[in-house]
Amino acid sequence: LMEIIKRFITNKRVLNRYYANAQARTLVTEQRDHQNEEKSATFSKYLLKKKEEAERSVLIQIASKDSLSSLCQYTKRKGLYPMNIFYYKIKEDMKLALVEFESVKCVHQVLNMASFIDKYDCIPITSRLLWFKGDSKVEENVEVDIKSFNLAELELTNKKCVDEILNGDNNPSSSMLQIYNLLKVSDIEVRIRFFICQQLKDMLSGLFPRCEVVPFGSSVNGFGQGGCDLDMVLLLNPAQLDSRFIFHSKQAIANPRYQNQKYMELLGDMLSQLIPGCSHVVRILRARVPIIKFKHQFGGIECDLSMDSDSGVFMSELLWLMTRIDSRVAPLVFMVKKWAKYTQLTSEVPGRWISNFALTILVLFHLQNRPQPVLPSFQELKELVGPGDHCESIDGLDCTFQRDASLLKKSSNSESLHKLLEEFFRFYAGFTWSKLGVSLVLGKIVNKPDFSPMYIENPLDNKLNVSQNVSLEEVDRFTDEITSALWRIECSESVNEDYKWTLKTLLSSHKPVDSYSFGEGRVKLDRLLKVDYSGSKDSQKPSDNALLSYLTTIRTKKKKKTKKSKNEWTD
């Protein structure tokens, strides 16, 4: 009873403060709504919310931050009132303002007011990318609530802060959380990415009115780092309506892959010749999934655009769901990626080494296999589906699983972040990759179905191996680095009662790298034979005398045999 009375008094005080100040009331409501959204929103609702923000936004290049006051005065005179203004710099001569209005109607009014700098000297494309021309008239300054970002400086500042955290002796769990908050994709970066998707959709909607450009991958799955690439998929006709009215259309080519390549080739021409802000367009049409790579000048982002393959979107949804099930998942994945970068296990260049996506799957699998599991298996998510959870990708993959994290049972696991990281190293230090693989679907270790050096099952398509590209020597390096990390943790002296090691202990023997070198800078493996590439024939000899003698004997026998065969042919 006393507890109820205390709670009532506390709530009453909160309510008094709540009604006393309108500004505080708005703040409390926004925080509460944000917390509820984080807990219960599904991935589709998250995408829809960000899409609506992008639809209400325009991107305006300005001369300087001082021009924002003039911009607000100008829009106010036209009867337009921005909801949010995000000012950011990519470089010194590239200053932009992402302006969000109250409705899409306001955006249309802005675009209808816009003109071209010289209609005879440019391609007259209407887009959400604008330039705010200067005016000789001196206007009164207006106080505007502006969120300001310098993306280039922000990235450098965050890197310095991360280095300071890694070199400190703080609690590793709190350090991991700080690193995650510093490196994760910021709100302004998310908005810019969705704006780019909306810009492409606007450009294509004349030909394809029902098309959608959907982001996927690290930009939206909860594991993305600031400055990451933007992966997008173009869906030409995402919804097929049941109607007796049928559009007349051109006959598609019988080979779907060839048809897709033709579409992508035309799309590449549009990006390079017509759509503003898109540069360095590269068409990669012979890949398993044809893509177009380009750079968005006003977003400062490297972009990859694919077409009619939405399995990546469903994979992003599954990973995003994992971050909503438990708040420790994303910081743990960030730390494992950071460790892998320090040890040069991963690279920004595709190759025979393990990818960040494969590392993410390994972390999730480890969390499924704790004595008290942190995450459910994919099979359990399938068994808990609701009426609206049944989905199938364009490729025919079954993407049915429970999509609302609030409907899942909360894990009883209360281990700290640094304990989970330590157990990650312990779990994979003794893993037999030669015989076993991991299955996120079953949530348990499985026998390898093939002879690849490392087997990590794709949770949406069990016929695919996520780590198919990883070579045997990279698997050995991965195991060696895992074992080395575990050894440093176990041999470290006690730092505190709550923790005996820090992130400095874990990464002390490795130099941080910003880019990966392939050649002299790459980790060299021991060779069976010592080889000298100076060019001299005498120098190219095996280091072992016994082996040298054996090779000499073989060479002598071969010469005798050749000579004998030649004599027999002559006779």
CATH number for the domain including 234? 3.30.460.10
pLDDT value for 513 = 44
| In a domain? residue 229 | yes
Residues 6+ apart with CB under 8 A from 349: 516, 518
Q: Are residues 225 and 343 in the same domain?
A: no
Domain assignment present for 317: no
Q: How many residues does the chain have?
A: 571
Sequence-ordered list of residues with C-beta below 8 angstroms from that of 424, at least 6 positions apart, any chain: 332, 336, 362, 363, 366
What CATH number has the domain bearing residue 451? 1.10.1410.10
d(C-alpha 344, C-alpha 571), whole Å: 63
pTM of the model: 0.81
Residue 121 lies in a domain: yes
Residue 523 lies in a domain: no
Q: Is residue 353 part of a domain?
A: yes
Contact, 315 vs 460, CB < 8 A? yes
The count of domains in the chain is: 5
In terms of domains, do 487 and 540 share one? no
Same domain for 400 and 424? Answer: yes
pLDDT tens digits in sequence order for the chain, 571 residues long = 455 444 444 444 433 433 333 333 333 333 434 444 444 479 999 999 999 999 999 999 999 888 888 888 898 888 898 888 999 888 777 899 999 999 999 999 999 999 887 766 788 889 999 999 877 564 555 555 666 666 656 666 677 788 888 777 788 999 999 999 988 999 999 999 999 999 999 999 988 888 999 999 999 999 999 889 999 999 987 667 788 888 888 888 888 888 888 989 999 999 999 999 999 999 999 888 899 999 999 999 999 999 988 999 999 999 999 999 999 999 999 999 999 998 999 988 888 999 999 999 999 999 999 999 999 999 999 999 988 888 988 888 999 999 999 899 899 999 999 999 999 999 999 999 999 999 999 999 999 998 999 999 999 999 999 999 999 999 999 999 999 999 988 887 666 667 778 888 887 655 444 433 333 333 444 333 344 444 444 444 444 455 556 556 656 655 555 555 545 544 4
Question: Same structural domain for residues 167 and 298?
Answer: yes
How far is the C-alpha of 456 from the C-alpha of 154, rounded, in Å?
35
202 shares a domain with 268: yes
> Would you state the pLDDT for residue 476?
95
Please indicate, yes or no, if residue 179 is contained in any of the structural domains.
yes
Same domain, yes or no: 20 and 75: no
Per the listing, tokens 């393990």 go with 354
- Structure tokens of 117? 């700098």
What is residue 302's DSSP assignment?
A: E
Q: Are strands 230-235 and 129-131 parallel, antiparallel or unpaired?
A: unpaired
**Which residue range forms the structural domain that includes residue 175?**
155-239+253-311
Q: What pLDDT is stored for residue 307 in this prediction?
A: 92
Residues 344, 481 within the same domain: yes
If asked whether residues 187 and 160 sit together in one domain, one would say: yes
CATH code for the domain of 54: 3.30.70
Q: What is the pLDDT of residue 256?
A: 82
Answer yes or no: do 468 and 411 share one domain: yes
pLDDT at 129: 95
Coil, strand or helix at 351: coil
Q: What is the pLDDT of residue 124?
A: 86
Give the end of a domain, one of 311, 336, 355: 311
Give the single-character DSSP code of 435. Answer: T
Tell me whether residue 568 is in a domain.
yes
Pair 345, 403 in one domain: yes
Please report whether residue 404 resides in a domain.
yes
The Cα–Cα gap between 278 and 203 comes to 12
Whether 57 and 167 map to the same domain: the answer is no
**Structure confidence at residue 549 (pLDDT):** 63
Are 115 and 260 within one domain?
Answer: no
